[in-house]
Amino acid sequence: MRPQLIGIPYDASSSFLRGSAEAPRHIRTALWSPAGNSFTETGVDLLGLADGGDLALSETPEQARAQIEIGIGLVLANGFHPIALGGDHSITYPILRAIATKHSSLTILHIDAHGDLYDEFNGDQYSHACPFARIMEEGLASRLVQVGIRTLTPAQHDQVARFDVNCIEMRHFADGVRPLVEGPVYVSVDLDGLDPAFAPGVSHREPGGLSVRDVLTMIQELSGPVVGADVVEYNPSQDLGGITAPVAAKIVREIAGLMISTRDA
């Protein structure tokens, strides 16, 4: 499978702090930094990894969503599997609208401190707190597996039940519960799923989270083809010494390696 990076510099649906629109170029810089080399941990050379650049996006959320859906559709039409560099987490909904046209049965592996399942947040159904409610309502995925969650409210517990989400809360992950994911999978990584000790450059720091190694292991152990992915919510304005960009890049790197080493279906 051929992955292609695609930058999605959009943060207008953030509920607290903006800044994640600046993330794509920082992630690319970290990915190709001469501090490292072009190989994944599993020995895949990423030299020549396709990069579609950044989408040009409107500040108007409705227009931006349409532009993201079209942009991802073009990545797919060109025969690539997208790895989206966010941006805030609202981008996952229009991405999945495009992906779902190609895959009738898809599991989403969603790594996050937050469920992002609100029916609406501050009056906005398309807030970065809501994408997985929209995705599940529209049937864009057949199964949603969440890992690292540690902020569920009663309203979100109701949504977990409504959409039959396999929600592995962080306290249960810490007890050894691990996701079982089979078949085609879309991977959505919100960097605030990691502990702020590993990834402080996020808008919503939530202590008590995953390690970088926890996330890499989950990615490397996926058995089904990864048909698309996003790495979202990196906020360079909140980072400390730029340590979060290499974390985002490392996750992108291992996802890309896994795609490259997977045969096309």
Residues that bind Mn ion (CB under 5 A): 112-114, 190, 192
- CA atoms within a 13 Å half-sphere pointing along the CA-CB vector of 241: 3
CB of 183 to Mn ion, least distance (A): 25
Q: How many C-beta neighbours within 10 Å does residue 106 have?
A: 22
| 4/146 with CB nearer Mn ion | 146
Closest CB 113 distance from Mn ion, rounded Å: 5
Provide the token pair at 212.
Answer: 């970088």
Q: Which is nearer to Mn ion, 67 or 159 (CB)?
A: 159
For strands 226-232 and 185-190, give the pairing: parallel
Q: What angle, 0 to 180 degrees and rounded to 10, lies between the N-to-C axes of helices 92-99 and 61-77?
A: 40
Nearest CB to Mn ion, comparing residues 72 and 202: 202
Tell me how far, at minimum, the Cβ of 204 lies from Mn ion, in Å: 6
> DSSP code of 207?
S
Q: Which is nearer to Mn ion, 3 or 24 (CB)?
A: 24
Could you write out the DSSP letters of every residue in 108-146?
EEEE-SS----S-BTTBTTSTT-HHHHHHHTTS-SEEEE
The Cβ-side half-sphere exposure at 108, using a 13 Å CA radius, reads 32
The CB-of-202 to Mn ion minimum distance in angstroms stands at 7
Q: Closer to Mn ion at the Cβ: 113 or 248?
A: 113
Rounded least distance, CB 5 to Mn ion, Å? 21
What does the block give as tokens for 234? 């990196």
